[in-house]
Amino acid sequence: MAHSKALLVLENFIGGKFVPCSSYIDSYNPSTGDVYCRVPDSGKEEVEAAVKSAKAAFPIWSSKSPLERSQILNKLADLIEHDLEAFAQAESKDQGKTITFARTVDIPRAVYNFRFFASSILHHTTECTEMATMGCMHYTSRAPVGVAGLISPWNLPLYLLTWKIAPAIACGNTVVAKPSEMTSVTAWMMCKLLEKAGVPHGVVNIVFGTGTKAGEALTCHPDVPLISFTGSTLTAQRITEKSAPYCKRLSLELGGKNPAIIFDDADLTQCIPTTLRSSFANQGEICLCTSRIFVQRGIYSEFLKRFVAEAKKWKVGNPSDPTVDVGALISKEHLEKVRSYVKKAQAEGARVLCGEGVDSLALPTGNQKGYFMLPTVIAEVKDESCCMQEEIFGPVTCVVAFDTEEEVIERANSVKYGLAATVWSSNVGRVHRVAQRLQAGLVWTNCWLVRDLNLPFGGMKASGIGREGAKDSYEFFTEVKTITIKH
């Protein structure tokens, strides 16, 4: 297809240089449906060059002191923060998310990821034990592993890419990263700042392209001992299979089908606005979003009435408009997939109370071909419905009633996922009891998405393997050794 000269063309970043690729793929602006840039369609050859460059840079980078690495990470954070507005504009245009979300969430968090690991890397201690009767002492030492393969998704592009790059390089590893081919622009922009920040050539290499080509080449590369992946459970199964012959260390942060449990003593003035956010923030394209809302029968009809009335107030439209609450979904295919779940729910006899197929969506002239969808609330869905079992990853949430604590715990746990949950109640004992019994790596009570990066982040069951956070990421990105000295 013919392209106008104004199209942005990205290049891979290997060994501190931008390198053109032999073939490219189109990346779309989700809010207009137009091709917006061209992304390298990298494969084995490009990954090979990037791994070679990362391997060559490893001896020098790994021998730097944590303080030296920390200073470089802080400098990179400052440079991204200095260009925050340009990064936010690019993220919004590339991903479809609102400019407000990119400005207040994505880019500030990307900056903070570098600052956080720049600090935490200075504060780890190792263990030491003594066996006086044997005349022995033991201690542990930790060392970087080598080249880390990092594969990040399209929903929070720079936010989740830096959440991997920062701990990997803070620990002294070098990296080959592959962002999603649908949202590669902010990663490419960050590459332009690496040299100025003092990152030596080859420490951070970014190879653009698809999972099936570039991602697979990285996963199967014998010189990449670590793979950290955030994305779908299906892709993770493939990564696990492909990496199995090489005994790689895997960190997998996958999907969720996250419940909100709202007891009849919940403070609805807090609960309703927060549950709207947890359902529809970033178009519902966050692995931590709420997609099953269990409401105790005594307050069910009141909750539903107020929740739907508020959901209808969320403004859908041009992501660059600061008053818009919901931007565009990532792609035409993804929009169709999300819509198909709503159709299935209707076919099963559920009630769609607002949004898709119920209310009309008026879009500005330039956005008629964009991938937009209204916040959609579905009631009277059966627990075994695909809408209650599968991750939809869009602005769709299901609301159902429950009677007892025992019953709702069982129903909340009856999915294959176990990433996050929220509990709403003013009874402290109940909050602790329920949190203990939910099969989820994260439980928020009377709030949502309040994060302390020191603590473990990750899921149970099909939501992943391993955890990320100050201590967990440090342990993942280092190799531990126990040394015994007899004196």
**Type of residue found at 46:** E
408 and 380 Cβ atoms separated by less than 8 Å: no
Nearest to 77 by CA among 108, 101, 106, 102: 108
372 and 359 Cβ atoms separated by less than 8 Å: no
What DSSP state is assigned to residue 200?
P
**Type of residue found at 235:** T
Half-sphere exposure of 198 (CA within 13 A, CB side): 13
Q: Which residues of 376-411 are buried (b: 16+ CB within 10 A; e: fewer)?
A: bbbbbbeeebebbebbbbbbbbbbbbbeebeebbeb
Residue 399 neighbours by CB under 8 Å, 6+ apart? 293, 295, 303, 304, 307, 377, 378, 379
Residue 452 neighbours by CB under 8 Å, 6+ apart? none
Determine how β-strand 290-296 pairs with β-strand 396-402.
parallel
Identify the bridge partners of residue 465 per DSSP, sorted by sequence position.
252
- Report helix, strand and coil shares of the chain as percent, to nearest 5: 40, 25, 35
Residue 280 neighbours by CB under 8 Å, 6+ apart? 289, 311, 314, 325, 326, 375, 395, 397
**How many residues make up the chain in this entry?**
487
Identify the bridge partners of residue 131 per DSSP, sorted by sequence position.
136
What DSSP state is assigned to residue 199?
P
Nearest to 171 by CA among 200, 142, 196: 142
253 in active site: yes
Torsion, Cα of 107, 108, 109, 113 (10° steps): 100
* Catalytic residue chosen out of the listed positions 11, 253, 285, 391: 253
Determine how β-strand 204-206 pairs with β-strand 226-230.
unpaired
HEC-encoded secondary structure of 12-77:
EEECCEEECCCCEEEEEECCCCEEEEEEECCCHHHHHHHHHHHHHHHHHHHHCCHHHHHHHHHHHH
Residues annotated as catalytic (active site), given as ranges: 253
